[in-house]
Amino acid sequence: DKDLKAILAAVTPKLIADDINTAAEQLDSLLYEYFAERCGTQRLERPARARPGTAPPARPKQDQWMLDELEQQRTYARPAGSSSTSAHNRINRQAKKLRRTVARNDQQLKVEQERRKFKQNPHEYAAGVFRPKSDKKPTFTKATADAFFASTYEDKQRSRPYGAPPGLPRPAAPRLEFNQRPPSEDEIGEIIRRKPNRSAPGLSGITYVVFKRCESARTKLCEIIQHVWNTSIVPRAWQLASIILIAKSDQLDLPKEFRPIALLNVAGKVFFSIVNKRLESYMIGNGYINLAVQKAF
């Protein structure tokens, strides 16, 4: 970490104050070059997720034994070349009734199995449910993708100021003030610590692991975040994303059949996580969000 600290000294407080864009880009560049030279590069591959319900639940041995026994009895109750006997018909009815019971038990077992999977890891379970149907790559050009997604997600009124709709009751004055103090190193470190190690990096190629394990990198990131907080100038590198297209169907020649996923640089995500956490505390602390009614976003 001493060598890295000496290298990162190039990102000086003066550079951060004079040109935050260059400072942020230089931090990413120095970190990437340092670890690429010493550790090499590797494409981050996620382990394949099994879709919920793909593995059949284990059927109770007693149910399976009873089905096998009835099948054997049915065979003995109907001699070869003869019509169905009363015993054979009776066993058929018993087998049919047992199959219905077994089917209900299997369904209940499957439901319980899925409920247990969900409780163990709700996020992983949801990712399996909404896993893309195809991992194939698009066959259209980048120019086609740029034109389609730019027109689809363009917001020409993005800068338009919005006011409260007429007649909408105004909320009460806040009891708690929004925390506007620059984030401390401890607060930034806690945000980084909670981030997943295998989170995909953005254009910088830097993952959270770098900032978790290298104090000098974390310290330099803190200086940049605190400057961004004080000046309200977000670095250009934090506004750019790598777009991954995930196929929703097998129509690989149509951009509309792909879902775009934006991968942002982790340095910027740390900053916006702080904003999100403080905004959440402000809204909930002042009773502006009813947790009994409002969920998710």
Across 23-35, average pLDDT: 94
3-state SS, residue 181: coil
Please give the sequence-ordered ranges of beta strands (E in DSSP) within the chain, or none if there are none: 241-247, 258-264
Across 230-240, average pLDDT: 95
pLDDT tens digits, 170-200: 889 999 999 999 999 999 999 999 999 888 8
In the prediction, which pLDDT does 62 show?
A: 63
Whole-model pTM?
A: 0.69
CA 228 to mean position of chain CA atoms? 26
pLDDT tens digits, 267-295: 999 999 999 999 999 999 998 888 887 76
Mean pLDDT value across the chain: 84
In the prediction, which pLDDT does 88 show?
A: 66
The closest alpha carbon to 16, from 176, 253, 278, 222, belongs to: 222
Q: Which of the four pLDDT bands, split at 50, 70 and 90, describes residue 122?
A: confident
Q: Which residue has the higher pLDDT, 46 or 30?
A: 30
